[in-house]
Chains A and B, each alone.
Chain A
Amino acid sequence: MILRVLLLLTLVVLAPLAQASERFIVVQSTTSTENSGLYGWLLPQFTAESGIEVRVVAVGTGQALRNARNGDGDVLIVHARAAEDAFVADGHGVKRHDLMVNDFVIVGPGADPVGLGESPGATAALKRIADTGAKFVSRGDDSGTHKKELALWRAAGLDPTGDGGEWYRESGSGMGATLNIAIGMDAHTLTDRATWVSFGNKGDHAILVEGDPALQNPYGVILVNPEVHPGVRASDGQIFIDWLLSPTGQAAIAAFRVNGQQLFFPSAR
């Protein structure tokens, strides 16, 4: 009796899953673009024009690149220039295109107790954090933002991961989780502006450092190489990339607003 109920249940539940899917592609993406709501704005426009559904897997840039190296995904949208170039050079991607930029900011307690606001730039601000031992939370997850943060520390001539300072913490999580931790600990952290602006749990935290050219955050888009990964839906993926880089796609990116603020700036050439 129970067995029969279970069998029936299995059939009922599995039946809808057996439906064949229409045209779709899988995009491996960094989280900032998804969490800011950009895809919720862009993708319906693309799907309406092309009839192609876009399924976004939003993970850290590092994991997105690793998944794509396994051929899991058709298009890659990330922000870690060096890793992107290596991905293409290793044959996993067809070509990297500039897609858009936004910028990173350093956020911290709104009262700015260590006076980051007065520092002339990002590296100077990081030096000041290290010197005063003010708390800092790092992504620590090999994401694009994490890679950027490590590059900034290097530029400042510091290696906080090595000296094991009490003030430097690695969350090992995504941007949102890291922001939650930083706010809970009253600590500083590096975040992309898009995630910050659309973040719902800001507490007393505010942007303390911004506008330094070193904080530029360029996003690239890459078609996963169908010659290396035969399952890749290359033609539909290319249609998506072409659309993103077209005047229509670029205009759509520029038109995206959160709280009236533009978060991404088109950069296709």
Chain B
Amino acid sequence: MGDAIAEAFRLIAVGDAALWEIVSLSLRVSLTAVALACLIGLPLGALLAIARFPGRGALIVATNSLMGLPPVLAGLLVYLLLSRAGPLGPLELLYTPTAMIIAQTVLVTPIIVALSRQVIADMHQEYDEQLRSMGITTMGAVLTLLYDARLSLLTVALAGFGRAAAEVGAVMMVGGNINHVTRVMTTTIALETSKGNLAIAVGLGLVLMLIALTVNGALMALRGTQGVARHV
């Protein structure tokens, strides 16, 4: 463990270009995936929370279960989709960062939908009568609730980011862990482990934790400057 910590410090201190490349790709892929998942998942979660339509219950059960979707399975599905033998083969997206973003979006969206649905449903309980008395449209209610729940939804997004940044199965499968192209933190950790370079692997793990900490801290700060926290 001492070796690993020393290694982590060495990696950061040297600020080595290879590490920076891997870290920035990790962030790019996971943050984009979370952003896309939020774009898709938040309105969907809000709609599931407030709209009543046939099949809604089944959809809620489905998204809740999909939160446990194994990354490798998500990776496999996206692989089958993007493979040259698959329906989207001609797009030539396999083994690119875009493929990794797609796979992580698939992985994260159910989390965003399920958690935001719960958050919004609780708030909707409180707001429903007031909003309806104002003659609000469903769309208007969705936007109002999304905005007023922004604090909790930030935590939802962070949960999604945690899942994206920590998974290895999906990006390994559709990214291929290609050096300089699709190699990210988690696939590097897997690779170094398989080379028996345990100190480097754990060191990289510590760097990953540090990044997660930084992202969380940055969002907290953003929260503060927005004055969101004051509105209870």
Contacts and interface: CB of A to CB of B under 8 A. Distances in A.
In the complex they form, whether A and B have CB atoms below 8 Å apart is answered with yes
Interface of A: 1-3, 6-7, 9-10, 13-14, 16-17, 26, 31, 35, 39-40, 55-59, 67, 69-72, 173-177, 179-180, 198-202, 229, 231-232
A176 B5 CA distance: 22
Given A17-B97, A55-B95, A35 B39 contact: no
Interface of B: 28, 31-32, 35-36, 38-39, 83-86, 89-90, 92, 94-98, 101, 146-147, 150, 153-154, 176-179, 181, 191, 193-198, 226
A5 B181 CA distance: 27
DSSP class of B's interface residues: helix, strand, loop or mixed? helix
Contacts of A55: 95, 176, 178-179, 181
Given A7-B39, A13-B35, A57-B178, A71 B89 contact: yes
Nearest to B143: A3
For A10, A16, A180, A232, the residue with the greatest tally of chain B CB atoms inside 10 Å of its CB is: A10
A214 to B, nearest CB: 26
24 contacts: A1-B150, A6-B38, A10-B35, A10-B39, A13-B35, A26-B95, A35-B195, A40-B179, A55-B178, A56-B178, A57-B176, A57-B178, A69-B85, A70-B83, A71-B89, A72-B84, A72-B95, A176-B194, A176-B196, A177-B193, A199-B196, A201-B196, A231-B89, A231-B90
Contacts of A10: 32, 35-36, 39
B198 A201 contact: yes
B96 to A, nearest CB: 8
Contacts of A231: 84, 89-90, 92
Contacts of A3: 39, 146
Contact of B153 (A2, A14, A72): A2
A13 B176 contact: no
B147 A2 contact: yes
Nearest to B43: A3
A94 to B, nearest CB: 16
Contacts of A2: 146-147, 150, 153-154
